[in-house]
Amino acid sequence: MSLTNERIKERLIEKFGEQVSNFDEPYGMLTFEVPKDMNLKVMQFLYDDEELKFQFLTTLNAIHYPDNKSRELAIVYHLHNLTDNIRIRFKVYVDINKPDVFTATKIFEAANWLERETYDYYGVNFVGHPNLVRILNVDEMDYFPMRKEYPLEDQTRKDKDDEMFGRGGNFGYGTVKTEDDTTIAESEKGDIGDKII
C-alpha cells in the first residue's frame, strides 16, 4: 500500500495528538502546523519512521505576517520522501519579539545555510546553529530586510525618492491617505478658494 496524505495525517495524529494542527492540502501537498518546541521532534519522527521516510529537506524559509500578533513569523519546512514521491510542508509560528527555533542542522546538513539565510532576512534565531551569521547581506547591516516594514529600494538615492514615485512612504505604500492629502472633490472646491493652484 503506497503512502497517501491521509495515512501520513493518521500517523502524525497518532503520535503527536493535539500538537499537530491545521491540516490542509493546498494543491495536493499536506500542510500542517507544529508548535515551536516540537519542530525537531516532528522532523526526527518523519525522518526515522519506517513508513514515512521523509529524509530529504527540500527547502526552509520564513514568512512575515505583521498582522498576526504573537505569531508574526512563520518558518516553513518542505520535506520530501524520495522513495514514495510524497512532499509535505509544515509551519512553525513564533512571536517576532522572541523568534527562537531549534536548529535542524543535526538532522539535515542542508539546513545550515538555509537557516542562515532565514536569519539574515527575518532575524529568526536558530538555537544551536554552529555559525549563525549573515550570509547574503553585508555584515554591518543592522536590520532584517525582508520584514514587511522595510522598503525595497535604497533609501539614500536622491533621484528616486518616494515623492517622485507617488508613494506614501509608510507601510501603506501610497494607499494610506495622509493628513495633507491635496486631492479634493469637485463639490468642495468652493470652500478652499484661493488655495487651488
Partner 1 sequence: MQDVVSIKDNHIVLPDGSIEKQTTTLNLGPTHPATHGVFQNILEMDGERVVSAKQTIGYIHRAFEKIAERRPLYQITPLTDRMNYCSSPINNMGWITTCEKLLKIKTPKRVDYMRVIIMELARISDHLICNSVVGVDAGAFTGFLYVMQYRELIYEIYESVCGSRLTTNIGRIGGFERNFSDVTWQKLEKFLDEYPRVLKEFENLLMRNRIFMERCIGAGPISAERALNYGFTGPNLRAAGVDYDVRVHSPYCSYEDFNFIVPVGSTGDCYDRFLVREQEMWQSIEIIKQAYQKIQEIKGSGAEIYHADIPEYYLPKKEDVYTKMEALIWHFKIIMGEIDMPVGEVYHSVEGGNGELGFYLISDGGRTPYRLHFRRPCFIYYQAYEELVKGAMLSDAVIVMSSLNLIAGEMDS
Partner 2 sequence: MARPVRFNIHPKGTDIHDNIALTEMPEGAQGEGFFATKFESIVGLARKNSIWPLPFATSCCGIEFMATMGAHYDLARFGSERLGFTPRQCDLLMVMGTIAKKMGPVLKQVYLQMAEPRWVLAMGACAASGGIFDSYSVLQGIDQIIPVDVYIPGCPPRPEAVIDGVLQIQKLVHNESLRRRNSEHYKALLNSYGIQ
| Closest distance of CB 108 from partner 1, Å | 6
- 192 is in the binding site of which of partner 1, partner 2, none (Cβ under 5 to 8 A by kind)? none
User: Taking CB under 8 A as the criterion, which residues in 2-41 touch partner 2?
Assistant: none
| Closest distance of CB 96 from partner 2, Å | 20
For residues 49 and 42, the answer to whether their CB atoms sit within 8 Å is no
| Closest distance of CB 86 from partner 2, Å | 36
Instruction: Provide CB contacts within 8 A for 50, sequence distance 6+.
Output: none
Taking the least distance from each CB to partner 1, the nearer of 153 and 179 is 153
Taking the least distance from each CB to partner 2, the nearer of 154 and 179 is 154
- 157 is in the binding site of which of partner 2, partner 1, none (Cβ under 5 to 8 A by kind)? partner 2
Nearest in space to 147 (alpha carbons), one of 178, 115, 171 = 171
User: Taking CB under 8 A as the criterion, which residues in 123-182 touch partner 2?
Assistant: 136-138, 145, 150-155, 157, 160
- 160 is in the binding site of which of partner 1, partner 2, none (Cβ under 5 to 8 A by kind)? partner 2
Look-up: residue for cell 502524525? 12
Taking the least distance from each CB to partner 2, the nearer of 160 and 195 is 160
Taking the least distance from each CB to partner 1, the nearer of 38 and 107 is 107
- 3 is in the binding site of which of partner 1, partner 2, none (Cβ under 5 to 8 A by kind)? none
Q: Three-state SS across the chain?
A: CCCCHHHHHHHHHHHHHHHCEEEECHHHCEEEEECHHHHHHHHHHHHHCCCCCCCEEEEEEEEECCCCCCCCEEEEEEEEECCCCEEEEEEEEECCCCCEEECCCCCCCCHHHHHHHHHHHHCCEEECCCCCCCCCCCCCCCCCCCCCCCCCCCCCCCCCCCCCCCCCCCCCCCCCCCCCCCCCCHHHHHHHHHHCC
Taking the least distance from each CB to partner 2, the nearer of 152 and 185 is 152
Interface mask (CB under 8 A) for partner 2, residues 77-116, using x and -? ----------------------------------------
Binding region for partner 2 (CB under 8 A): 136-138, 145, 150-155, 157, 160
